[in-house]
Amino acid sequence: MQELGQLADLPESYRADLAAQNLVPLWPSLRSVLPPGTPVRRTRPICWPYAALRPLLMRAGELTPIEKAERRVLVLANPGHGLEKMQASSSIYLGMQLLLPGEWAPSHRHTPNAVRMIVEGEGAYTTVDGEKCLMSRGDLILTPTGLWHEHGHDGDQPVVWLDVLDLPLVYYLEASYVTEGKAQAVTRDAGERAYQRGGVVPSPVFVRADKSYPMLRYPWSEVRAALLTLAADQPGIEAVQVAYVNPETGGDCLNILGFSALMLRPGETLTLPARSPAMVMHQIEGDSEIRVEDQRFLLAPADTCCAPGYVPVTLANRSATLPAFVFLADETPLHKKLGIYEVRP
Which is closer to ligand GTQ, CB of 167 or CB of 316? 167
In sequence order, which ranges of the chain are alpha helices (DSSP H)? Answer: 12-20, 30-33, 50-63, 66-69, 167-172, 191-194, 220-233, 332-338
Burial label for 298, CB within 10 Å (0-12, 13-18, 19+), is: middle
Which is closer to ligand GTQ, CB of 145 or CB of 317? 145
Contact 110, 149 (CB under 8 A): no
Strand partners, 96: 74, 162
Amino acid in the structure at residue 61: G
Tell me the closest approach of the beta carbon of residue 57 to ligand GTQ, in angstroms: 12
Binding site for ligand GTQ (CB under 6 A): 71, 73, 95, 97, 110, 114, 149, 163, 165
In whole angstroms, give the CA distance from residue 147 to residue 133: 13
Tell me the closest approach of the beta carbon of residue 32 to ligand GTQ, in angstroms: 32
Which is closer to ligand GTQ, CB of 135 or CB of 165? 165
Tell me the closest approach of the beta carbon of residue 19 to ligand GTQ, in angstroms: 38
Contact 344, 273 (CB under 8 A): yes
User: Residue 185 gets which letter from DSSP?
Assistant: P
Contact 100, 153 (CB under 8 A): yes
Per-residue exposure over 262-279, b if at least 16 CB sit within 10 Å of its own CB, e if not: bbbbeebebebebbbbbb
Residue 121: left (phi > 0), alpha (psi -120 to 50), or beta?
left
Tell me the closest approach of the beta carbon of residue 40 to ligand GTQ, in angstroms: 27
Which is closer to ligand GTQ, CB of 151 or CB of 265? 151
**Within 10 A of 212 (CB to CB), how many other CB atoms are there?**
15
Burial label for 32, CB within 10 Å (0-12, 13-18, 19+), is: exposed
**Apex CA 281: angle with CA 85 and CA 247, to 5°?**
105
Which is closer to ligand GTQ, CB of 27 or CB of 172? 172
Tell me the closest approach of the beta carbon of residue 98 to ligand GTQ, in angstroms: 11
Tell me the closest approach of the beta carbon of residue 94 to ligand GTQ, in angstroms: 8
Which is closer to ligand GTQ, CB of 108 or CB of 188? 108
Strand partners, 180: 108
Tell me the closest approach of the beta carbon of residue 5 to ligand GTQ, in angstroms: 45
Which is closer to ligand GTQ, CB of 88 or CB of 114? 114
Contact 74, 141 (CB under 8 A): no
Tell me the closest approach of the beta carbon of residue 73 to ligand GTQ, in angstroms: 4
Tell me the closest approach of the beta carbon of residue 97 to ligand GTQ, in angstroms: 6
Which is closer to ligand GTQ, CB of 160 or CB of 263? 160
Which is closer to ligand GTQ, CB of 97 or CB of 276? 97
